[in-house]
Amino acid sequence: MKGVKLKIYGLLFVLLMVVSCKKEVVKTTDIATQKANDLLAKMTLEEKIGQLNLRGTSSRQKTLPNELKQAVREGKVGAFLNVMKTEYVDELQKIAIEESPNKIPLIFARDVIHGFKTIFPIPLGLAASWDADITEKSSRVAAIEASSVGIRWTFAPMLDIARDSRWGRIAESPGEDPYLASKLGEAYVKGFQGDSLNDPTSMLACAKHFIGYGAAIGGRDYNTAIINKELMQNVYLPPFKAAFKAGSQTVMTSFNETNGIPASGDKKLLQEILRKQLNFDGFVVSDWNSVTEMIPHGFAKDEKHAAELGLNAGLNMEMTSKSYEHHIKELLSEGKISESQLNNLVVEILKVKFRMGLFENSGRNSKASKLYAKEHLALAKEAAIKSSVLLKNDKSILPLVKKTKIAVVGPLANKPREQLGTWTFDGEGQHSVTPIKAFENNNTNFSFTEGLSYSRDKSEVQFKKTIQNAKNSDVIVFIGGEEAILSGEAHSRANIDLPGAQEKLLKELSKTGKPIILVIMAGRPITLTNIINNVDAVLMTWHPGTMGGEAIYEMLFGIQEPSGRLPVTWPKTVGQLPLFYNHKNTGRPVIPEKFVQMDSIPVGAWQSSLGNTSHYLDVGFTPHFPFGYGLGYTSYMYSNLQVSTQKLTNTNQIKISVDVKNTGERDGEELVQLYVQDVVGSVTRPVKELKGFEKVKLKSGALKTVSFALTVDDLKYYNSNLKYGVEKGDFNLWVGNNASNGLRSGFSYE
Ligand code: GLC
């Protein structure tokens, strides 16, 4: 009996400890809110309105206007965007914490999207690394560099699922898959914010753009998004859910309307979904003027109405436009918003400032020496290699042997700024290692004739000299693609072929009979159908960042292996877009063996002779390269797929294993991917969904058993009644190295 008593006391003690710890955690979280409420009680209405004001300035501003300093002195600004002179940051912060009514510190923000000074591959490139670790590390480096000049808030990660390569901002996106995007979103937030928000190197993350920005009709930026509720819940929201779970303290509303409602005024989105369903407890910032853009949207009749809509939706901070500053007093006096609504919006901002420790230490970590630190540059090179995707390598022309005489051609072979890509306001070309610079640094046997001066160049004046030079080489390395300006915000393209006369030059070069290696720098998949048969190898490096040239050199000569895999489906032609692997099966899915290509249709064929399924007569039904695709410098064999049970229940898990053997001559890294299909649902389900992936390094001849585990939680989705769960039925699964192949098995959920 005594023993039993002891056990009961012991249990009680443990229970008490757990409760008190939990209370401790809750108490800690409440400290920031408590302090915010205490401060709120001392604030005037002007100061409260000031906290909702994110003032934009130009990073090229030559002086600090007295009007700006006075506004800070009167507590009329909560945060700044683009103040890039550190002396201005220091001066404005000093005014705020010494002269403003309640000494409330400012937050300084910037778009630090894929690096600050050391530039990493564009986010679509980092997505191609499928590597959460390097994504987190590169974001940590960006935060260390940016915080050293006072930037403590970045407008990243961009988590818009993108299924249309015409869209310019696909360059900033994590690609087309919610599972991969969620892993990356978590990594970005951890990297930017670090282990503690009050560390001076911590930079607030901002999950953006909430929501549906990547679904713009036609890939036309800022355009209308129509997203049904199941798609919203199962595709577009998951990356944001992951970012909030990782602790992102801010979120940005998107420019676009979704289903007729602009995000900055969408109360259901910002209250029901963001606050209640996703438990977001930071603050919401608009996009640039997106509050007042509700007027051209036709959703607000004037600036005052726009402010009313944003405030009632729960949008905390207005970026750059001034509708809040101009109209909150009137709206309060007219009872269109309440004092408690205003107070809540202010407290949500203040508590983040308290969490950041800004009231105790608003200074910046002045380890400015960290800019371009060699370990940062080394990481940037590693990221560029892990992001690069080898799409074609006929006759294993790559890797080259060192003594190969190469003719380097192309408009992006020596463009230090272009290789940085979009959203690199602070990157500096003089620190870039271009491919030409890397070939020089490594005593490569090469000659360089550009052939075209820039990616859109249509002039053929250099062709003759270029072709002559190519004839005197063993191999042609053509480094082309898109200038940085051809992707990114507001830069959608309706034709995504290589711009300018690049295709023509490639065709002329192929007449020399020399092997051609096409290295692409671009912000999106480029349609290659017109020239794919003129080149022997294709290496996609996206815009690879500061160390892109060194990375390209090491990959071309086999010092490193490109290990990226596609985070987006690569189309044959722009006419196929939007194109993505996790599509629905439709009632008339393609029957490959029945497909008749347009040129093979007999003249006078009878109307219904072709088989009525979902495809294009001319380009068929497959992409040029599927999601998850990428080659390496060796080969692999998958065998022995094992599934631990064919029956999944609420309490067990399915262990899946496969043997992967490196059957080539070289060591390599392979990305093993797990896809699952829920065959029947109360809402139709995608033909495949990524549910796991693992990078494995394998020496030549080595074999490794790669394992995954699936539980019922991995299969839950929102059904037609928005119930989150799994429905009983059959599932298929595949394990392979891209979305179009794999060893197949299956199970059922009872
Ligand atoms: C831009 C972008 C947004 C960016 C903001 C501040 O228009 O849409 O992603 O963070 O304005 O530069």
**What secondary structure does DSSP assign to 366-391, as a single string?**
--GGGTT-HHHHHHHHHHHHHH-EEE
pLDDT tens digits for 474-527?
A: 999 999 999 999 999 999 999 999 999 999 999 999 999 999 999 999 999 999
Check pLDDT > 80 for residue 720.
yes
Mean pLDDT in residue range 152-173:
98
Residue located via tokens 């500096």: 428
**178 CA to centre of ligand 1 in angstroms:** 22
Nearest CA owner, ligand 1 atom 7: 288
pLDDT for res 368? 57
Six token digits for residue 247: 């602790």
Tell me if 288 CB under 6 Å of ligand 1: yes
Six token digits for residue 530: 């017109």
**65 CA to centre of ligand 1 in angstroms:** 23
φ and ψ at residue 599, rounded to 5 degrees: -70, -10
Q: Give the chain's length.
A: 750
Please return the burial class of 64, using the count of CB atoms within 10 Å of its CB with bins 0-12, 13-18 and 19+: middle
Greater model confidence, 172 or 594 = 172
State which of 81, 111, 192, 491 you would mutate to test the pocket of ligand 1, scoring each by most atoms of that ligand within 8 A of its C-beta: 111
Tell me if 222 CB under 6 Å of ligand 1: no
Helix axes 178-193, 132-147, angle to 10 degrees: 30
Please return the burial class of 707, using the count of CB atoms within 10 Å of its CB with bins 0-12, 13-18 and 19+: middle
Distance, in Å, from the CA atom of 187 to the CA atom of 191, rounded to the nearest integer, reads 6
φ and ψ at residue 172, rounded to 5 degrees: -95, 0
pLDDT for res 27? 43
- Per-residue pLDDT band at 59 (split at 50, 70, 90): low
**423 CA to centre of ligand 1 in angstroms:** 10
Distance, in Å, from the CA atom of 640 to the CA atom of 659, rounded to the nearest integer, reads 6
Distance, in Å, from the CA atom of 237 to the CA atom of 278, rounded to the nearest integer, reads 9
Distance, in Å, from the CA atom of 558 to the CA atom of 552, rounded to the nearest integer, reads 10
- On whether the CB atoms of residues 630 and 390 are closer than 8 A, the answer is yes
**150 CA to centre of ligand 1 in angstroms:** 19
Distance, in Å, from the CA atom of 702 to the CA atom of 636, rounded to the nearest integer, reads 10
Q: Which amino acid is at 498?
A: L
pLDDT tens digits for 591-617?
A: 999 999 999 999 999 988 888 999 999
Q: What does each C-alpha distance from 407 to 142, 211, 301, 443, 514 come to in angstroms?
A: 36, 46, 61, 14, 10
Q: What does each C-alpha distance from 224 to 287, 403, 495, 527, 629 come to in angstroms?
A: 16, 54, 20, 25, 31
HSE, CB side, 13 Å, CA atoms: give it for residue 189.
23
Q: Give the atom of ligand 1 at the shortest distance from the alpha carbon of 255.
A: 8
Name residues whose C-beta falls within 8 Å of residue 131's C-beta, 6 or more positions apart in sequence: 386, 695
Tell me if 303 CB under 6 Å of ligand 1: no
Check pLDDT > 50 for residue 334.
yes
DSSP E strands in 111-210: the ranges are 153-154, 206-210
Nearest CA owner, ligand 1 atom 3: 287
User: Given 287, 457, 536, 714, which residue is catalytic?
Assistant: 287
Nearest CA owner, ligand 1 atom 8: 287
Check pLDDT > 70 for residue 62.
yes
DSSP bridge partners of 55? 80
Whether residue 474 lies in the annotated active site: no
Nearest CA owner, ligand 1 atom 1: 288
Q: Are strands 153-154 and 107-110 parallel, antiparallel or unpaired?
A: parallel
Tell me if 287 CB under 6 Å of ligand 1: yes
- On whether the CB atoms of residues 159 and 127 are closer than 8 A, the answer is no
Mean pLDDT in residue range 387-406:
97
Distance, in Å, from the CA atom of 623 to the CA atom of 612, rounded to the nearest integer, reads 20
- On whether the CB atoms of residues 722 and 232 are closer than 8 A, the answer is no
pLDDT for res 18? 46
pLDDT for res 7? 55
> Which 3 state secondary structure label does DSSP give 206?
strand
Nearest CA owner, ligand 1 atom 6: 288
- Per-residue pLDDT band at 638 (split at 50, 70, 90): very high
pLDDT for res 6? 52
DSSP E strands in 89-163: the ranges are 107-110, 153-154
pLDDT tens digits for 269-286?
A: 999 999 999 999 999 999
Q: What does each C-alpha distance from 553 to 240, 450, 481, 540, 631 come to in angstroms?
A: 37, 17, 17, 13, 17
Q: Residue 404: count other Cβ atoms within 10 Å of its Cβ.
A: 18
Check pLDDT > 60 for residue 34.
yes
Check pLDDT > 90 for residue 213.
yes
Q: How large is the greatest C-alpha to C-alpha distance in the chain, in angstroms? A: 99
Check pLDDT > 80 for residue 159.
yes
Six token digits for residue 536: 């022997």
Check pLDDT > 80 for residue 380.
yes
Distance, in Å, from the CA atom of 265 to the CA atom of 142, rounded to the nearest integer, reads 32
3-state helix, strand, coil in the chain (%, to 5): 35, 20, 45
pLDDT tens digits for 341-352?
A: 999 999 999 999
Check pLDDT > 70 for residue 636.
yes
- On whether the CB atoms of residues 138 and 191 are closer than 8 A, the answer is yes
Distance, in Å, from the CA atom of 260 to the CA atom of 280, rounded to the nearest integer, reads 24
Mean pLDDT in residue range 559-567:
98
Tell me if 221 CB under 6 Å of ligand 1: no
Six token digits for residue 502: 């690049």
Tell me if 669 CB under 6 Å of ligand 1: no
Mean pLDDT in residue range 294-313:
98
- On whether the CB atoms of residues 210 and 161 are closer than 8 A, the answer is no
pLDDT tens digits for 655-705?
A: 999 999 999 999 999 999 999 999 999 999 999 999 999 999 999 999 999
> Which 3 state secondary structure label does DSSP give 147?
helix
pLDDT for res 439? 98
Please return the burial class of 395, using the count of CB atoms within 10 Å of its CB with bins 0-12, 13-18 and 19+: exposed
Question: In angstroms, how far is the first alpha carbon of the chain from the final one?
Answer: 43
Cis peptide before 567 (omega within 30 of 0): no
Q: What percent of the chain has pLDDT over 70?
A: 95
pLDDT for res 222? 98
Tell me if 727 CB under 6 Å of ligand 1: no
State which of 206, 222, 288 you would mutate to test the pocket of ligand 1, scoring each by most atoms of that ligand within 8 A of its C-beta: 288
Q: What percent of the chain has pLDDT over 90?
A: 92
**217 CA to centre of ligand 1 in angstroms:** 20
Q: Which amino acid is at 735?
A: V
Closest by CA position to 540, among listed 558, 564, 571, 568:
564
Tell me if 155 CB under 6 Å of ligand 1: yes
Q: Give the atom of ligand 1 at the shortest distance from the alpha carbon of 206.
A: 10
Check pLDDT > 90 for residue 13.
no
> Which 3 state secondary structure label does DSSP give 536?
coil
pLDDT tens digits for 728-750?
A: 999 999 999 999 999 999 999 98
- Per-residue pLDDT band at 3 (split at 50, 70, 90): low
The overall average pLDDT reported for the chain is 95
What's the chain's Rg over C-alpha atoms?
Answer: 28
Tell me if 177 CB under 6 Å of ligand 1: no
Cis peptide before 144 (omega within 30 of 0): no
Helix axes 463-471, 502-510, angle to 10 degrees: 40
- On whether the CB atoms of residues 54 and 318 are closer than 8 A, the answer is yes
pLDDT tens digits for 615-634?
A: 999 999 999 999 999 999 99
Tell me if 483 CB under 6 Å of ligand 1: no
Name residues whose C-beta falls within 8 Å of residue 637's C-beta, 6 or more positions apart in sequence: 660, 661, 663
Q: Residue 361: count other Cβ atoms within 10 Å of its Cβ.
A: 13
Tell me if 153 CB under 6 Å of ligand 1: no
Q: What does each C-alpha distance from 506 to 176, 468, 471, 524 come to in angstroms?
A: 30, 14, 13, 20
Six token digits for residue 708: 């995954």
Six token digits for residue 337: 């918003």
**489 CA to centre of ligand 1 in angstroms:** 8
Six token digits for residue 533: 């048969």
Distance, in Å, from the CA atom of 166 to the CA atom of 523, rounded to the nearest integer, reads 10
- Per-residue pLDDT band at 454 (split at 50, 70, 90): very high
Of 33-37, 540-544, 567-571, 720-724, give the lowest mean pLDDT range: 720-724
Check pLDDT > 50 for residue 461.
yes
DSSP letter string, 226-270: ---HHHIIIIISHHHHHHHHTT--EEEE-SSEETTEEGGG-HIII
Q: Which amino acid is at 518?
A: L
pLDDT for res 57? 81
pLDDT for res 26? 38
- Per-residue pLDDT band at 5 (split at 50, 70, 90): low
